[in-house]
Structures are given as structure tokens and as C-alpha cells.
Amino acid sequence: MNFRKTGYNLGVIAAIIILLWIGLFKFTPTEAMGIKHYVGTSFLMSWMYKVASVHAVSNIIGTYEVVTGLLLLASFWNRKAGLLAGYLGAIIFLTTLSFLITAPGTWKLVDGFPTTDFFVLKDLGYLAIFLLVIGHHTTNEKAVRLTN
């Protein structure tokens, strides 16, 4: 078994599932309200509520995530789609990781031990996957150009 290829493919498939699933969930009123605290306190995203409703903002974010997931799926056959998906995904997860800094109440002490909203912290792993995707498609693109 090629662990490098299997690990890469598994990570990409997991990211596709997460982006499609969570992206589609963004179209529900429950998720629109669920992300309001994070988006509303983000220096990168709070401006969106000045131009659109809570539900519309959630729909925009969901559309971005679904499109990124579909591009990531296409990356198995198309290097340009993979490179674009890599950058779009990195933006998603850098943004959500910024919530660890911007969202009040994200960090807490539990029994004297610092904890956070771990659902945001897990995005560090997804950021790593998207950086791998960028590297994978950049390297392959250069290799193709060198052989042509």
C-alpha cells in the first residue's frame, strides 16, 4: 500500500465530505443562527451582515463551501480545479481559525485547564490538507510543463 497516496486521498475525500455536508447545512435557519456569533465578531466577515441578512450570509458561505468541495472533487481529474480548490479551502480554514482569536467566549478554563471550541480547532487539520492540495497540484503542474 502506498501510504502517502492513500493518506492524501483519504484526507481530500474527508475534506470533500465535510465541505459538502456543512456547506449544505448552511442553508438551514439553524446553522445560519449557529454561525452568527462567529461571523458577527470576525474582523474578516462581520461586514457581511451590513449588506445581507443572517440567512443570506449563511447561504453565501454555504455556496462558497459547496463550490470548494465540488472543485476539490474535480481535483482528482483536473489540476487547475485542484489548485483553485486548494486556495479556496485554505481561505475557509484560515478564516474559521481566526474565530479562535475574534469570537468572545471561545477560550475557557475547565478545572484550571485552558480549553476552546474544539470544532474550530479541528480546522487546523483541514488547513493542512488544503496546503497539501496546493502543493500536490503545483508540483504536478510544474512536472507536466517540464515534460512537454
Name the domain count of the chain: 1
Q: Indicate the residue type of 44.
A: L
Instruction: State the Cα–Cα distance between residues 128 and 105, nearest whole angstrom.
Output: 25
Q: Which domain holds residue 131?
A: 3-147
Cβ-Cβ contacts under 8 Å for 114 (sequence gap 6 or more): 107, 108
pTM of the predicted protein model:
0.88
DSSP states along 118-146: HHHHTHHHHHHHHHHHHHHHHHHHHHHHH
- 109: buried, middle or exposed (CB in 10 Å: 19+, 13-18, 0-12)? exposed
End-to-end Cα separation, the chain, in angstroms: 30
In order along its 148 residues, the chain shows pLDDT tens digits of: 899 999 999 999 999 999 999 999 999 999 999 999 999 999 999 999 999 999 999 999 999 999 999 999 999 999 999 999 999 999 999 999 998 888 888 888 889 998 887 777 889 999 999 999 999 999 654 544 433 3
